[in-house]
Amino acid sequence: MPFSDVVGHDGPLGLLSRSIARGSLPPSLLFTGPEGVGKRLAAQAVAEALNCLSPVRGGVRPATGPEATAAGRPARRRVPARPVPAEHATLVLPLDACGECAACRRIAKGTHPDVLAIEPPDVGALKIEVVRPAIAATAYRPFEGRCRVVIVNEADRLTEDAQHALLKSLEEPAGGSVFVLVTSRSGVLLPTIRSRCSQVRFAPLRAGDVARLLTERHGFSVDDAFAAAAAADGSPGRAVASAARGFRQSRDSALATIQAVARGTSPRARVQAAMGLLAGKSSAAGERDELMTRIALMASLLRDLALVASGGRVEDLANGDLAAPLAELGGAFGRDRALRAYDAADQAIVALRRNASPKIVADWLAVHM
Ligand SMILES: [Zn+2]
C-alpha cells in the first residue's frame, strides 16, 4: 500500500516520504500510537517506497484531518473553543510507491525476499528464535530490492532476550537495512530500544475519516460506519474489530437516554431515563461492558452537542449522520451543559472501571447531566 492510500497521518507520512526521497531515512524507526490506526500499513508503505521499481515522485493526495498540522501531538480530547476550520490542503509526497509493480505487489502479499515482517503469535510473546533469522539476514546485501526492511509488529511483545538481540542491529544496522518497530505500547519496550530508534508518532484519526474508511474499504453502511467510528476513538482497526457487537443499537440507546434526560426535569424522571442505559444483560461483566460502550457513545454525542451549540460544522461532528436529532437537542443542551454532561460521562466510565455498580453509575450520570 503506497503512502497515498493510507488514510490520515499526513504529518508522519509526509515526513517519511521526504526522508526517503532525500535518502536520509533513519535506519531504526519506532512507530507508536493507538492500536488500529494504520501504523502497520505505514510500515508497509515505507518498505514499498524503498523498494518500488517505478516510484512516484511529487505525488499529492488531499490532506485529511487535523493531524495534518498537529502531527505527533495527542488528539484533542475537548471540544475546541472555535470549530476547527476545514483543511483542504494537499499532502505532498516527494517519493511514494506505485503500488502496482512486481516489488510492491510482493511486499503487499508478504512474499518479497527483502521485506521481513515479524508478526506476533496469537497468544504469548515474540521470542528470540523468531527474531534471530531476521537479524542474520540483515548481515547480507538485499537479494533483489534496494533495501532490506524488517518490520516488527507489536514490538512490545518481544521478550527481553529478543529485545537485547535486536539492540546491536538497531544501533548499527548493516548497510541497506531498515528496521521498523511498530507498537501501541512503547512504554513496555526497554529504554535502550526506544533510545536507539527514531520515533514516529501516529495520532488517532478523526471520526469522519474513520467512518469514510469503514464505508469505502470495509463495506459498512453509512449509519453503521458513523456509529462504529464514534465508539472507536479514532481507530479504524478497533471499529472493524468491534463492529460485530452492534454499535448502532448501543448508540441509539445512548441518544435515546440523552433525549429522555432533556425532557425529564425531575430527579425521578432522570432516574427513569437512566434505565434506558442498562441493557439488562445476564452477566454482571456483560452489563458493565455494554454500559461502558453506551456511555462512551453518549460522551461522543455530548461532544457533538457542544460543537453544535458552538456553531460547529456538520463535517466536524463525530456523529454526522445524526445532525438533525442533535440540532433538535440544542434547545435543552447548550454548550456549557453539554460539556458538563461530557465530564460526567467521563467520570462515570472511570467509576465503572473501578468496579462501581452499573445501576448506581447510570442513575448518578442521568442526574448529573
Ligand atoms: Zn511499485
How high does pLDDT run on average in the chain? 86
Strands 198-201 and 177-183: unpaired
Cα 49 to ligand 1 centre (Å): 7
Cα 4 to ligand 1 centre (Å): 13
Cα 173 to ligand 1 centre (Å): 24
Cα 107 to ligand 1 centre (Å): 9
Number of Cβ within a 10 Å radius of residue 140: 12
pLDDT for the residue numbered 28: 96
**Which candidate, 229, 368, 238, places its Cα nearest to that of 304?**
229
Q: How far is residue 198 from each of residues 169, 195, 309, 349, measured CA to CA in Å?
A: 14, 8, 42, 35
Given a cut of 90, whether residue 144 has pLDDT beyond it is no
Strands 198-201 and 115-118: unpaired
Instruction: Please write the tens of the pLDDT for every residue from 301-355.
Output: 999 999 999 888 887 888 888 999 999 998 888 899 999 999 999 999 889 888 8
Cα 53 to ligand 1 centre (Å): 5
Residue with cell 460522551: 299
Cα 101 to ligand 1 centre (Å): 4
Given a cut of 50, whether residue 5 has pLDDT beyond it is yes
10 vs 62: CA distance, rounded Å: 9
Given a cut of 80, whether residue 275 has pLDDT beyond it is yes
pLDDT for the residue numbered 321: 87
Q: Judge contact between 317 and 350, C-beta under 8 A.
A: no
pLDDT (average), residues 226-249: 79
Confidence of residue 65 (pLDDT cuts 50, 70, 90): low
pLDDT for the residue numbered 26: 95
**Which candidate, 274, 286, 330, 320, places its Cα nearest to that of 300?**
320
pLDDT for the residue numbered 126: 92
Cα 21 to ligand 1 centre (Å): 15
Instruction: Please write the tens of the pLDDT for every residue from 148-198.
Output: 999 999 999 999 999 999 998 898 877 779 999 999 999 889 999 999 999
pLDDT for the residue numbered 292: 87
Cα 166 to ligand 1 centre (Å): 29
User: Which cell goes with 220?
Assistant: 459498512
pLDDT for the residue numbered 176: 76
276 vs 250: CA distance, rounded Å: 10
Cα 130 to ligand 1 centre (Å): 28
Instruction: Please write the tens of the pLDDT for every residue from 76-123.
Output: 434 443 433 444 578 899 999 999 999 999 999 999 999 999 998 877
Instruction: Please write the tens of the pLDDT for every residue from 21-47.
Output: 999 999 999 999 998 899 999 999 999
